[in-house]
Amino acid sequence: MHNKVLILDFGSQYTQLIARTIRSQNVYCEIHPYLMDAESINDFAASAIILSGSPFSITNKNAPHPNQAIWNLGIPILGICYGMQLISANWGGEVHAALKREYGFAELYVSDSKDVLFDGLKQTEQVWMSHGDALSKLPECFDILAKTDNSPHAAIKHKTQPIYALQFHPEVVHTPCGKKIIANFLFRIAGLKADWTPGSFISESIKLIRDKVGEKKVILGLSGGVDSTVAAMLLYKAIGNQLIPIFVDTGLMRYNEANRVKELFASYPDLNIRYVDAGTSFLSKLKDVSDPEQKRKIIGSEFINVFDKVAKEYSDAEFLAQGTLYPDVIESVSFAGPSATIKSHHNVGGLPDKMKLKLVEPLRELFKDEVREVGASLGLPDSLVQRHPFPGPGLAVRIIGAVDIHKVQLLQQVDDIFISELYSSDLYNKTWQAFAVLLPVHSVGVMGDERTYDQVCALRAVNSIDGMTADWTELPHSFLKRVSNRISNEVKGISRVVFDISSKPPSTIEWE
């Protein structure tokens, strides 16, 4: 694959944002640790390279540096923040600790608006700074393109080569013109094409899957969520009834989940999904267990046992498919080098080793929003494609304390009312994730002429881009009132409803 960008990661908290911004322009890119060797760099055959920021200071003797091979490729390079300092140092510039550190908004004054990097921008733009070091001596072979009040070299360019560097961060939303700057680099400077689309991904993936799998069978753990369902449809398009989807109902899923999955795939009669009702087994293993980490381990272990037992019935299968996404891959590789394993996340972690099957991961190149776009292109309904994230351990981590069938049924009813009201009020797609939590608290209430002492539930709704940070969703008071009334009236055992207005950080999105 040509027409792609290599992002070398030096440990910036914004590196994934660089990739997401490039992908949003329909250009393929990958993030790799800064210490990528010369052979791998050459094999990658990038059309352009971007150097990320870093928490390190280039003045530190242990500061990370890329392989020198990148400077001899003759392709466009864009350095961001720390990447700018690397570029400057390579060409004889000098970097020192800034007299005044810049963190936050700054006014960028474009001094060379004729350069294509700033094409379409105003003479003055708002940008986001985050640096303690600054370029104190400009390399002789570079020109200044822009400055701020505290950074006389806020943007620079090599006089004869397509090498650019920015002191600010164009990848963050706080730099409104940043996406345009990156687009100018991709299309005007690097001459790339916007050919990374859901359609091109699907056609290429189908070919790759067929080449890898051949006539063999593939087992897939189907959860009913976005990732596993899109993976299932992509595999089905590629290999048809060679796919064996296994749906394990843990008894900890949303209300009527198994039937919803059956309805979704009813129009694909040769997609023979194996449904396994294992709720009793999971609940018995969770009896009297309150510690959230212990719950997760028990559920993960039991899932592997149940799934493996069913999968052994298909002895002719040679592959196991997982819905690994690109953030899972990135998080498994630190900027200083690869770690031992890919994060199992919501996938069936531990199964590949136990089952001795070869892995197929058709979504491992995609971010979550790209998975949704591929799902839509595959013809999946919007209600599935835009579905909110759901934790792998299911409702067990939304029941604070010990789990039993009564609590699961209570929470299923509450959750179903909350989600259905979000849909009917056209609010579901206006929040990133919404769910209910059952608290280990009883509260005095009044039902008719009787006093009650029933449980408390919390409603949670957050907006986020990738789940790394999140803010609570300001749902209308009239909506919350209606949901609270329905829960109190329709769910016997709940006497009080509260709404969680905590952001992440300091809180997490899930309660456990």
- Dihedral sign, Cα of residue 117, residue 119, residue 121, residue 122: positive
- 182 and 85 within one domain: yes
Catalytic residue of the set 29, 102, 153, 171:
171
Any idea of the CA torsion for 129, 367, 435, 386, to the nearest 10 degrees?
120
Q: Which domain, by its residues, includes 411?
A: 404-499
User: CATH number for the domain including 126?
Assistant: 3.40.50.880
| Of 189, 213, 235, the domain-final residue | 189
Q: Say yes or no to pLDDT of 487 above 90.
A: yes
User: CATH number for the domain including 350?
Assistant: 3.40.50.620
- Dihedral sign, Cα of residue 312, residue 313, residue 314, residue 315: positive
Higher pLDDT, 357 or 439: 439
| pTM of this structure | 0.85
- 439 and 309 within one domain: no
171 catalytic? Reply is: yes
| Of 385, 420, 451, the domain-final residue | 385
Q: What is the mean pLDDT of residues 99-118?
A: 81
Q: Is residue 505 part of a domain?
A: no
Q: What's the CA gap between 4 and 44, in Å, rounded?
A: 9
Q: What is the pLDDT of residues 222-263, one digit of tens each?
A: 998 999 999 999 999 999 999 999 999 999 999 999 899 999
Amino acid code (one letter) for 60: N
Catalytic residue of the set 81, 131, 153, 370:
81
- 266 and 176 within one domain: no
Average of per-residue pLDDT values in the chain: 90
Per-residue confidence (pLDDT) for residue 340, from 0 to 100: 32
Q: What is the pLDDT of residues 257-310, one digit of tens each?
A: 989 999 988 888 888 899 999 999 999 999 999 999 999 999 999 999 999 999
Q: What is the pLDDT confidence band of residue 348, given thresholds at 50, 70 and 90?
A: very low
Residue with tokens 């194996």: 274
Q: Is residue 508 part of a domain?
A: no
- 418 and 311 within one domain: no
Domain tally, the chain: 3
Q: Is residue 160 part of a domain?
A: yes
- 111 and 222 within one domain: no
- 141 and 47 within one domain: yes
442 catalytic? Reply is: no
- 166 and 112 within one domain: yes
Catalytic residue of the set 169, 257, 370, 512:
169
| Of 385, 414, 438, the domain-final residue | 385
- 204 and 182 within one domain: no
Looking only at the bridges linking them, the beta strands covering 333-334 and 4-9 are: unpaired
Q: Is residue 202 part of a domain?
A: yes
Nearest residue to 50 via CA among 35, 64, 67, 70: 70
Q: What's the CA gap between 502 and 182, in Å, rounded?
A: 34
- 227 and 124 within one domain: no
Q: Count Cα neighbours of 446 within 13 Å in the Cβ-side half-sphere.
A: 2
Nearest residue to 242 via CA among 360, 367, 138: 360
At 258 the three-state DSSP class reads: helix
User: CATH number for the domain including 459?
Assistant: 3.30.300.10
